Chain A
């Protein structure tokens, strides 16, 4: 559906898919506005807590890689550490430079956070659980994600610090440059799938009983396979993660563009970086790795016949399983992202830019062309079908 449809059906509980599930739970009429706010619900209930948990996971996983213990004081195994961090950030004093441009200084973390979190509205967690089933799903995610570079640049400028400005300009140039191979890799999948709707792309990867008979799109083509790695590298660079974190590295520019930010403003920058990572991992899982689909099982076939509160509980159980599978894949990718952080050294800024423009973009374009030629030569069938293992109907 288009954004206009989403807005105009805002007060109708039956038209929004999340509203379908809550309708089964017999939510009384005054809560009908809930369906209009479902993207907001997704963001608040999922993105923010998971971002917080990610900060804890990062510390524990990095401790594992470095053979130390990590946080273990604040909860059973340090699990409440992110609560403690959040409380600390709330209670810190909000400092600013004397000459800092306060209006812009306050807007900048908000822009970065809005850019990272807003994209979650189009990410599908299960067949009926997504913020908004937009027809331009993947494109919407990239569009909202482009607000992050603006926030970083404005934050760097308004802190009246030469090194922040340098870090911020480098970060903005890096993010803007790496949007191109990201878009090329996404375009490869959109071309193979024929639609930009992420829910439809995930449903096409159901094997063997799905309508396209495709397995995960990463195995559709050798060209899409290589473009997955182009997407992954470009996503790492978009989120300013190592090995591309020159803009915020401790040993390089004090702390780059977030030197002068403290307290909740810095908390928002750090949270937005993790949420960016989570978002790109979610998009990568949804378009390349099959989303919520398991190889031989069609989860939407689960019929238990249980009833809950007078409504059918099947959809809830299916949604729960789909969410579990999806989150397992996303967590695996996030683990790989953190693994890369503590394994690879950092790239210099000219190496970073030359990687983007001289290597990733030609490779991405070549693979786009290769995928197009494959589609034409094999009439849209994937590698699995050409070998002969496909099931399903076309």
Chain B
């Protein structure tokens, strides 16, 4: 197999995950909609999971380990993101029911 290609180059995946991470942070910092903030967090989590899997395959020391660490970490990240989405939806629905708005600047009180 041709080894010096783009698909086997770890830097490619690291750069993509860095770009996704930064775009996720921009999204989470600049959106005025609480669901928009949540979407930024999803992008950040994805970038991290991609990083894990890429390093596991393509980094010499990581690839020498016996267990599929990177893939298992990515699995856990995906599952935890699912839990987080369910809880976030519940909170958004509750807040919308109470305040009729999803602007995060208006959700300032912890109680009610």
Q: Measured between alpha carbons, how far is A307 from B71 in the docked complex, in Å?
A: 48
Within 8 A of B (CB), among A125-151: none
**3 A-B pairs with C-beta separation under 8 A:** A4-B7, A8-B1, A8-B7
Q: Measured between alpha carbons, how far is A17 from B7 in the docked complex, in Å?
A: 24
State the Cβ distance, B73 to closest chain A Cβ, in Å. 19
Residue of B nearest to A7 (CB): B7
Residue of B nearest to A4 (CB): B7
State the Cβ distance, A207 to closest chain B Cβ, in Å. 35
State the Cβ distance, B64 to closest chain A Cβ, in Å. 20
State the Cβ distance, B8 to closest chain A Cβ, in Å. 10
Residues of A within 8 A of B1 (CB): 8
Q: What count of chain A residues pass the 8 Å CB interface test?
A: 2
User: A92-122 CB contact bits vs B (8 Å, 1 = yes)?
Assistant: 0000000000000000000000000000000
Residues of A within 8 A of B7 (CB): 4, 8
State the Cβ distance, B75 to closest chain A Cβ, in Å. 13
Q: Measured between alpha carbons, how far is A8 from B1 in the docked complex, in Å?
A: 9
Within 8 A of A (CB), among B94-111: none
User: A1-19 CB contact bits vs B (8 Å, 1 = yes)?
Assistant: 0001000100000000000
Residue of B nearest to A9 (CB): B1
Residue of B nearest to A8 (CB): B1
Within 8 A of A (CB), among B5-48: 7
State the Cβ distance, B9 to closest chain A Cβ, in Å. 14
Within 8 A of A (CB), among B50-87: none
State the Cβ distance, A10 to closest chain B Cβ, in Å. 12
State the Cβ distance, A95 to closest chain B Cβ, in Å. 31
Q: Measured between alpha carbons, how far is A8 from B2 in the docked complex, in Å?
A: 10
State the Cβ distance, A221 to closest chain B Cβ, in Å. 28
State the Cβ distance, A86 to closest chain B Cβ, in Å. 39
Residues of B within 8 A of A8 (CB): 1, 7
Residue of B nearest to A5 (CB): B1
Give the top 3 A-B pairs by smallest Cβ distance, nearest first. A8-B1, A4-B7, A8-B7
Residue of A nearest to B5 (CB): A8
Residue of A nearest to B2 (CB): A8
Q: Measured between alpha carbons, how far is A8 from B7 in the docked complex, in Å?
A: 10
Q: Measured between alpha carbons, how far is A4 from B7 in the docked complex, in Å?
A: 10
Q: Measured between alpha carbons, how far is A26 from B50 in the docked complex, in Å?
A: 42
Q: Measured between alpha carbons, how far is A329 from B7 in the docked complex, in Å?
A: 42
Within 8 A of B (CB), among A1-59: 4, 8
Q: Measured between alpha carbons, how far is A4 from B5 in the docked complex, in Å?
A: 14
State the Cβ distance, B68 to closest chain A Cβ, in Å. 13
Q: Measured between alpha carbons, how far is A4 from B1 in the docked complex, in Å?
A: 12
User: A212-232 CB contact bits vs B (8 Å, 1 = yes)?
Assistant: 000000000000000000000
Q: Measured between alpha carbons, how far is A8 from B5 in the docked complex, in Å?
A: 11
State the Cβ distance, B51 to closest chain A Cβ, in Å. 18
Within 8 A of B (CB), among A345-389: none
